[in-house]
Amino acid sequence: MYRPKKSTLLAVLTTAATVFVPANASAETVTDPDVSSQNNESPSSVSSGLAEKADSYVSLRGDQFSVDSEAESVFSQKDLQEIENEVKAQNKMINEAKADSNLEMKVAGDSVTFWEKGPKISSSDNDDIDPYFQEGRNGIEFHGTTVRVLLSKTTINRVGAGVAIGGIWVPEPVISKILATVGVIAGVAPGGVYADYGISSIVFGAFALTAVPKRVGFQ
């Protein structure tokens, strides 16, 4: 995973499918859906160690990820199947996000990125300037077998039971873990934050309550 640079737009892949929120929903705080029946535990899936190793064998072709053929000689059949399942799940999210008219898409490097539509300003030399650097932007960015959730300063200040970002439900316990790890509390955060997770942290369109971030920081 990479750390977004100040000089570039914060590009995020925000999926649109969920059992909780309409596909065209933008980021908003909403009443907590009943996630207790399906979201108390993270699913058994690709371990963090396997995910790190698998990243070298997952490539982006067009706007879809695929597992390189070389992986067959590196991983066991069981591990290879788990990796392929993760990639399929990610491609499904990409395809669903493409159907959301509230999102903009960009394919660059090793990522397909979607972010909520918003204003852009230009400097005197016509270079785009990201007006959201301090505020941050809401979204989810996918890279191979990892996922990054981004929360704006406004979202952090207003969060109640949780927040829906383009159709993905991020419950309050997950947000609290992110803020605690980065060392801030809601209402006084100096800017938007991000947190990196394994892609299997998203269960049935929502982050698992027990999901623990691998990395956190400010946007």
pLDDT digits (tens, 9 = 90+) for 155-214: 888 877 888 776 778 999 999 999 999 888 877 778 889 999 988 888 888 999 999 998
The sign of the dihedral angle between the CA atoms of 70, 105, 153, 165 is negative
Cα–Cα dist 210/200, whole Å:
12
- Which pLDDT does position 61 carry in this prediction? 93
| Strands (E) located in the chain | 28-29, 58-61, 64-67, 103-108, 111-116, 121-122, 128-129, 139-143, 146-151, 162-165, 168-171, 193-198, 202-203, 206-207, 215-218
Terminal-residue alpha carbon distance, the chain? 14
Tell me if 111 sits within 8 A of 143, measured CB to CB.
yes
Cα–Cα dist 64/115, whole Å:
17
- Which pLDDT does position 119 carry in this prediction? 53
Q: Is 179 helix (H, G, I), strand (E, B) or coil?
A: helix
CA angle 79, 85, 86 (to 5 degrees): 95
Give counts: helices (H), strands (E), the chain.
Answer: 4, 15
- Which pLDDT does position 204 carry in this prediction? 84
Q: Which residue has the tokens 């077998």?
A: 145
pLDDT < 50 positions in the chain: 1-44, 120-125, 129, 131-133
What are the two backbone dihedrals, phi and then psi, of residue 148, each rounded to the nearest 5 degrees? Answer: -120, 125
Separation of CA 181 from chain center: 17
- Which pLDDT does position 166 carry in this prediction? 65
Cα–Cα dist 18/36, whole Å:
16
Cα–Cα dist 192/178, whole Å:
11
